Amino acid sequence: MSDGASVKPSAAASRTAGPARSGRSSTLQWLLQNVVWFWLFGLVVIFGVFNPYFFTINNMQNIMVQATVLGLLALAISLPLLVAEIDLSIASNMGFSSVIGALTLNYGVPWWGGALVGILAGAVVGLFNGLCVTRLRMVSLIETLAMMIILQGALLAITEGNTIANMPDEYTWIGQATIGTWPIMPLVFVVCLAAEAIILRRTVLGRSIYAVGGNAAASTAAGIRVDRIKIIAFVLSGLLAGIAGYMLAAWQMAITSNQGEGFLLYSIAAPIIGGVSVFGGRGSVVGILGGVLLLTTIQAGLAVVSFPSFYVPMIGGLMIFVAVAIDAIRVRMSAGR
């Protein structure tokens, strides 16, 4: 009887501790998945305390406009990440596609035709990357690194080191237009954000993207055409880079010979900080939005409080390091369940 009495409380305690540990693990995972919003809230409060100008409408509008191009690139790079690949040529593709679109205007093409050609040029680059990764079995990290260098060289060669600024007003209209005092350019980012959310959450293609990134071998066994899904992800990514290129050209009303440089680091950082896993198969557009707003708020906030700008890249790199570490913890916790 004594043995039985000693076993029963232990078993009961184990049954009680099991759900309790599971509950704590789920809570911790939720906190790690949404940590970007806590960072964002904390930074907004800190910047607002140091300088009340941070909360003004003008500053909010400035943050929205700056977030547009970065947000489009973050959406673009998230798609290869979700299928467990990476595209380092995204920022260079943005600059290259924008100059291709602008050059077509010199041949009598209407402004909308030039914009469309530029966006399609970005998609073609994405298609080429996808074919190289899937058909030639090239490592995406190296293949897109080579493509990045090629596109940077092509942009420099096409512009001959000059700045293209003689674009018609219709071509740059969307980058300058406002409704009242509010710029309309951020609406493009919102539309693309909603479209990617619908694709990922409401379509077979979206579910296949998550499945391929989560486990390519299991997806193949389930009948999913893995190579096709990866190619589509790269094409959509290039398409978004083309849209970002047109938006940046319309906003700046110019295309420089190094257009897009400086965006690569932050376009990779934003989705990772927002919870998109570098191992594929995990992430959401809500998290990407949080990552984009966080990085844009840091840049705008540090400028408002007169913080030396040369510290910004270091802070961005530190945040990427922390985000990747958190992602590794999330993956390890999921595997340990």
| Residue that wins the pLDDT comparison between 136 and 333 | 136
State the DSSP H helix or E strand holding residue 182, giving kind and residue range, or none if neither.
Answer: strand 182-183
What is the average pLDDT score of the chain? Answer: 86
pLDDT reported for residue 278 = 84
pLDDT band at 304 (very low <50, low <70, confident <90, very high): confident
Q: C-alpha dihedral over 317, 163, 250, 151, to 10 degrees?
A: -60
**In 87-184, which residue ranges form alpha helices assigned H by DSSP?**
90-104, 111-134, 140-159, 169-176
Q: Which residue's structure tokens are 């950082």?
A: 269
What pLDDT, in 10s, does the model give residues 191-243?
999 999 999 999 999 999 999 999 999 999 999 999 999 999 999 999 999 99
Question: Which residues contact residue 137 at a Cβ distance below 8 angstroms, ignoring those fewer than 6 apart?
Answer: none
Q: C-alpha dihedral over 140, 206, 38, 269, to 10 degrees?
A: 20
Question: Which residues contact residue 24 at a Cβ distance below 8 angstroms, ignoring those fewer than 6 apart?
Answer: none
